[in-house]
Structure 1
Amino acid sequence: MSVTAPQIEIDIPLPKPPKVLSEPEKQRYQDKIKHQLEQHNAVLIAHYYTDPEIQAMAEATGGFVGDSLEMAKFGARHEAQTLIIAGVKFMGETAKILSPEKRVVMPTLEATCSLDLGCPADAFSEFCDQHPDRTVVVYANTSAAVKARADWVITSSIALDVIDHLDAKGEKIIWGPDRHLGRYIQNKTGADMILWQGHCIVHDEFKFKALDQLKAMHPDAAVLVHPESPESVIELADVVGSTSQLIKAAQTLPETKIIVATDKGIFYKMQQAAPDKELIIAPTAGEGATCKSCAHCPWMKMNILENLSTVFEREGVDIEVDKDVAVKAMKPLKRMVEFVNS
């Protein structure tokens, strides 16, 4: 008899889109951010899914743009004593766990993630306790408390390799929280996995029919899909991969047109890597789709020049992780880093 993990319904209001800034306002905030980074011995670290102007700000000031693990590793090795994490809260927590001696701040601590929200630590831990014979593997898109309950933390770039490794050892797995990524890995590896029923609101909105129609309009285009997308969408892909892997694919594929099924914030770095390619966002509106996100995470959009410029003037911007939780979460994070470096 198959075992199904509970599905946690997320019923929260999405944040409102930020106001549009004039060019003089942008310049004023950019100048202030540069000054404050120097003044506070700080570095700006941004995720691929933040708005292009935030990614450009990180690049222009000697910071970094990357995925969640790359962000945390960059912060750990950088000499700055303060890390400004432009992303969502679990990214700030991971950076703090890997750099406990540093101050870690965020433009807003209200920037969260539907995967994180859909995997409450208490409910997930209780479910894991019901299956003590299974190895607990969680995606990086989870809270520090969920990571602390895990045996392994992984990113999408190493998920297949880690699960293949564990399956070869005969280990049975509890996977959380993204059901689509879990199903993709299960199909590829054949591993015995119980899948927690979470999802990313951005990737969950890509639909087979709309993407199939777009492919028909651009038969010469390659299709790149993030594995957090539904199984039917993945089946239409020429390349399935993490953010870094999709950027690499856009750069190396021979096709000059690329249809991209992931958060459109990735276009900033993808276009840098493949300046001669035409990038087309996969549809999230139309028949069978709701366009709650319109291919851009509403919480990532909360990282704006205005709140970034005032991060050292406000309270409630510091990431703090309970020491016991941090110690427990460090074990699966360290296991992941060692696996990558092995």
Structure 2
Amino acid sequence: MSAIQTVDSLDYAFPPKPKPLSDQQRADYRARIKELLQQNNAVLVAHYYTDPEIQALAEETGGCVADSLEMARFGRDHEADTLIVAGVRFMGETAKILTPNKTVLMPTLKAECSLDLGCPPEDFSAFCDQHPDRTVVVYANTSAAVKARADWVVTSSMALELVEDLDSKGEKILWGPDRHLGNYIQKQTGADMVMWQGACVVHDEFKSQALLDLKKVHPEAAVLVHPESPESIIAMADAVGSTSQLIKASQELPNETFIVATDRGIFYKMQQLQPNKTFLEAPTAGEGATCRSCAHCPWMAMNGLVAIAEALEHGGEQHEIHVEPELAKQAMVPLDKMLAFSANLKK
């Protein structure tokens, strides 16, 4: 297995946190956003990792809370003329590629993703050129330009099945950008894979010794792990999967307590569906270490009420997602393949 060195995720400068609002300010902004959504024939789609307040607002206004694939599908199929995507930039780009006829707004275009930042299109394309005999499979957490360079785009909910299918056909894989997810898939499938060495700033911080210590305090707890986590964390999991798969596991497993190794924004949906169960954050610091993300994506935190209201009121270059048509056309090819493969999986 070969690799290429990329920027260490710890080098990324995190954005400032939004200023806290009073209860009255939050109520006023929620009311204003609801008015603006109706006035603009707009719908709010929010990722599971956004703050609970934003997820609740999306549900209250007829939008959706979902993983990146379902967000894109929902936006494509909804009758609204305008989509406001509460997530990170690549999610807005994907929504625009799938629905070029709609206006796609984001609370801020500065909401990045460390996997996207750590996979510059020019460098990744050069890496692909070094391995011309390999099928290029990229995670959805990438820019439109990286998607356009790929043969396949996948989400964590269907990556394992896709690579397994390609491997069964004798195809060798070039995987990017998350090394932990790629390593997990390689071990599960035995596929011939070379990896781009990216990582998520949230999942990369989970600590195995601290998780062992927490498990001793809660021996009855099941451990739920997103496969963007390090191998030592995955090894302790009772269930490994995407955001939607972990939510499903929290409903189906008999345990009353869960230790969850993914962004803590997911707790909103887990607790909503299982209000009598207890959910604990997997540790992101231990043995004297301190965390930077502390189990919550700093860029997801930028999707606040003030930013959503400003996007709906003003739109424009500060908030609107644009994808160059030819680039969108190229990126649509592997995205279409992903959607078709996912639909067949459901069947």
- Residue 314 of structure 1: CA displacement? 4.7
Q: Is 2:180 the partner of 1:180? A: yes
Cα drift, residue 3 of structure 1? 2.2
Structure 1 residues 140-161: Cα deviation after superposition (integer angstroms, max 9, x where no partner): 0000000000000000000110
Q: CA deviation at 1:324?
A: 1.1
CA offsets per residue over residues 238-287 of structure 1, 9 Å max, x none?
00000000000001110000110000000000111211110011111222
Deviations 1:63-122 (A, max 9, x none): 000000100000000000000000000000000000000000000000000000000000
Hey, what does 2:296 align to over in structure 1? 296
- Which residue of structure 1 aligns with residue 325 of structure 2? 323
**Does structure 1 conserve the Cα–Cα contact (< 8 Å) formed by 2:174 and 2:193?**
yes
Q: Which position in structure 2 is the counterpart of 1:285?
A: 285
**Residue 44 (str. 1) matches residue 44 (str. 2):** yes
Within 5 A, what are the aligned runs for 1:176-325?
Answer: 176-287=176-287, 289-311=289-311, 312-315=313-316, 316-325=318-327
Give the distance between the partners of 1:105 and 1:8, measured in 2 at CA.
29
Residues 112, 299 of structure 1: 8 Å contact kept: yes
Match of 2:339 in 1: 337
Q: Secondary structure at the match of 2:153?
A: strand
Which amino acid in 1 is paired with 2:314? E
Write out aligned runs for 1:98-109 (5 A): 98-109=98-109
User: 1:9 is matched with which residue?
Assistant: 8
Is 2:81 aligned against 1:73? Answer: no
Any gaps of 5 or more consecutive residues in structure 2?
none
Q: 1:23 to 1:303 in 2, by over 3 A?
A: same
Measure how far apart 1:20 and its partner are.
1.4
**2: CA distance, partners of 1:198 / 1:61:** 36
Question: Would you say the 8 A contact 1:207–1:289 is kept in 2?
Answer: no
Alignment map for 1:153-164 (pairs within 5 Å): 153-164=153-164
Contact conserved, 2:209 with 2:286, CA < 8 A, in 1? no
SS at match of 1:310: helix
Cα distance in 2, alignment partners of residues 205 and 250 from structure 1: 22
Tell me how far apart the structure 1 counterparts of residues 114 and 16 of structure 2 sit (CA, whole Å).
Answer: 16
Determine if the alignment matches structure 1 residue 167 to structure 2 residue 162.
no
**Cα distance in structure 2, aligned partners of 1:221 and 1:166:** 36
State the Cα RMSD in Å.
0.9
Distance in 1 separating the partners of 2:288 and 2:66: 32
Supply the AA of the counterpart residue of 2:334: P
What does the per-residue CA deviation read over 1:152-171, in whole Å, with 9 as the maximum and x for residues that have no partner? Answer: 00000001100000000000
8 Å CA contact 1:267, 1:279 repeated in 2: yes
Shift of residue 213, structure 1, vs aligned partner: 0.6
Q: Between Structure 1 and Structure 2, how many residues are aligned? A: 341
Partner residue, 1:117:
117
Inter-partner Cα distance in structure 1 for 2:288 and 2:342 = 39
Q: In 1, distance between residues paired with 2:89 and 2:148?
A: 16
For residues 208 and 46 of structure 1, what CA distance do their matches in structure 2 show?
30
> Are the aligned partners of 1:248 and 1:273 in contact in 2 as well (CA < 8 Å)?
no
Distance 1:206 1:289 in 2: 11
For 1:289 and 1:94, the matched residues in 2 are separated by: 36
Shift of 1:341: 1.2
Superposition deviation, residue 19 in structure 1: 1.5
Secondary structure of the residue that 2:329 maps to in structure 1?
helix
> For 1:314 and 1:320, how far apart are their aligned partners in 2?
12
Cα distance in 1, alignment partners of residues 221 and 286 from structure 2: 21
- Return the alpha-carbon distance in structure 2 between the equivalents of residues 226 and 44 of structure 1: 25
The ranges of structure 1 where at least 4 consecutive aligned residues each deviate by more than 6 angstroms after the TM superposition are none
SS in 1 for 2:16: coil
Q: In structure 2, what residue type is equivalent to 1:269? A: K
- Whether the 8 Å contact between 2:4 and 2:195 is mirrored in structure 1 is yes
State the shift of 1:17 in Å: 1.5
Note the C-alpha offset of 1:130.
1.0
Identity %: 65
Counterpart of 1:9, as a letter, is D
Stretches of structure 1 that go unaligned for 5 or more consecutive residues are none
Comparing 17-26 with 178-187, which one deviates more in the overlay? 17-26
When normalised by structure 1's length, the TM-score is 0.98
Q: Deviations over 1:6-59 (max 9, x none)?
A: 323353320111111111000110010000000000000000000000001100
Judging changes above 3 Å, is the alpha-carbon distance between structure 1 residues 288 and 156 closer, same or farther for their aligned structure 2 residues? farther
Tell me, what secondary structure is at the counterpart of 1:195? Answer: strand
